[in-house]
Structure 1
Amino acid sequence: MHRWQPKLGLIQETLLLTLYARALDAELPSPILGDRLSADLAGGIDYDFRKLKVKPNLVLTTALRAKKLDDVVRAYTAAHPGCVVLDLGCGLDTRMLRCDPPPGVDWYDIDFPEVVNLRSEHLPSRSHLVGADLTQSGWLAAIPDDRPAVIVAEGLLPFMPGDSFQMMTRQLTRHFPSGELALNGYTRFAAWAMKYHPTIKALGITAAQGFDDAHEPESWGADLELVEERILTRAPEIARFPQPLRALTRLTARSTALSRQGARILRYRF
């Protein structure tokens, strides 16, 4: 099998981290996400994934948060069959293929130009590809503005500098008549601690940001209303975690404050 080498900057290289985590999950006896295509993609890349130092906890939480965000997209596209889907910072995620939306849905995978070029070469999909720097304005001109939208931002918040995530959110909610925004919400402590995680340190990334109160985005001037804060330590899929990680996760789940430092999915209406 021919293997290809990705040429990416540090921020873009994080897509290999999440891809590899999904691939490792797919190899488990009882996977959480079970994304075989991610496993196939990772197997075709000429890259030393060992340097990412991916631990079992990261594999399982990455798979679990992807599964819960997929659930948000499936529910929204089922209720709004002619809607628009935006997957921001999509990397090499196979979300569209996992969700398999109705034919009337317009799906846009958005990332840096070099990333969408990799998608077009190595990932079969019927989505629209938009190469853009999300900290800049203007890229929304390529997106329809006359239909409701569900917007997914998985793992994006910590890597957008300053208030660029908030500015992007305001642009998005003003572009569409209505919709939902779903993201995995990092607390400030979790974002700070992430810089010292062996995997992130291995990539040399130091910038990270988050927010503690799930209602904080309601103050961004983007007309957001919190619909749901889903704490993943309490998800039923935790029963499939191996021991002792399962017991530790269930112990953590007893404390909402501690659980929020791990993984949570936030869903907003606009």
Structure 2
Amino acid sequence: MGDTLAATVADRFADDTGYDFAKLKVKPSLVASTALRAKKLDDVIRQFVTTHPDAVVVDLGSGLDTRLARCTPPAGVDWYDVDFPEVTDLRQRYLPDRSHQVATDVTEPDWSQTLPDDRPTIIVAEGLLPFLPGDSFQNVIRQLTTRLQAGELALNGYTRFAAWAMRYHPPIKALGIDAAQGFDDPHEPERWNAGLTLVAEQLLTRAPEVAAFPQPVRALTRLMAHNTAMSRRGTRILHYRF
């Protein structure tokens, strides 16, 4: 699950800013689970753009993610990276590529007017859900699915417990972010009036890639895999069609 481009960008960014990332105290379990969730979301996108080589990909809260480079979509795919203006400026500096940069707060109305609405579209939201207050994530998805013709949504879903517990993780505390609530039932987004239908829920504790996790993270993850409720408190990928 190596990503040499991401490592290069991270090294450049750390050198340029002088930020001490060690103070985030990121644990091996978080590194492994984050890499795995990224891979699983990449897999959903690859499948979609293979089926729809003229598709649109909308990456919400893309940050400095190297997803476009990892997925290598066909030339007919239009890719949109959406994030705050400060972040899109950094992307243009550190990750110049063929994606369209949409500099906006995703909770602002009408920004989706910049997107094509006549082609199959996949929306991906990795790590975004718990950082949007109240029901704003629902509103963002509803805005998109109402405007866009048809497509899919893929995200890593947080249970209410997982979203609550995030505020006690050292990296989150260091950034001063208050996590919002998640949701437990994977069918809940079907009740957001966004036209969503659940395609699949992947509990990543049960993914074959766990075999590559370092010990003792691997053993602990396999132990959690025996219980669905515990697995949902870890990382899960939720895939919908609209």
TM-score normalized by structure 1? Answer: 0.87
Alignment of 1:131 onto 2:103: yes
Moved more, 194-203 or 253-262: 194-203
Alignment of 1:89 onto 2:61: yes
Q: What is the aligned partner in structure 1 of residue 4 from structure 2? A: 36
Q: What is the aligned partner in structure 1 of residue 190 from structure 2? A: 218
Q: What is the aligned partner in structure 2 of residue 9 from structure 1? A: none
State the distance in 1 between where 2:147 and 2:119 align.
10
Contact 2:134 2:180 in 1 (8 A): no
Once the two structures are superposed, what CA deviation does each residue of 1:143-182 show, in whole Å capped at 9, x if it has no partner?
Answer: 1111110000000000011111111111111111110000
Contact 2:42 2:67 in 1 (8 A): yes
Alignment of 1:269 onto 2:237: no
The one-letter amino acid of 2:130's match is P
Please state whether the residue corresponding to 1:114 is helix, strand or coil: helix
The one-letter amino acid of 1:237's match is E
Contact 1:88 1:154 in 2 (8 A): yes
Aligned length: 238
Q: How does 1:185-200 map to 2 (within 5 A)?
A: 185-200=157-172
Moved more, 256-265 or 170-179: 170-179
The one-letter amino acid of 2:9's match is L
State the distance in 1 between where 2:214 and 2:2 align.
16
Deviation at 1:121, TM superposition (A): 1.1
Q: CA RMSD in A?
A: 0.7
Q: What is the aligned partner in structure 2 of residue 162 from structure 1? A: 134
Q: What is the aligned partner in structure 2 of residue 99 from structure 1? A: 71
The one-letter amino acid of 1:162's match is G
State the distance in 2 between where 1:137 and 1:225 align.
24
The one-letter amino acid of 1:252's match is M
Contact 1:195 1:208 in 2 (8 A): no
Q: How does 1:44-83 map to 2 (within 5 A)?
A: 44-45=12-13, 46-83=18-55
The one-letter amino acid of 1:208's match is A
- Given the alignment, which residue of 139, 155, 164 partners 1:183? 155
Q: What is the aligned partner in structure 2 of residue 246 from structure 1? A: 218
The one-letter amino acid of 2:61's match is G
Contact 1:194 1:208 in 2 (8 A): no
State the distance in 1 between where 2:216 and 2:84 align.
39
Seq. identity, %: 68
Please state whether the residue corresponding to 2:142 is helix, strand or coil: helix
State the distance in 1 between where 2:68 and 2:29 align.
25
Deviation at 1:205, TM superposition (A): 1.4
Runs of 4+, deviation exceeding 3 Å: none
State the distance in 1 between where 2:83 and 2:202 align.
26
State the distance in 2 between where 1:168 and 1:199 align.
26
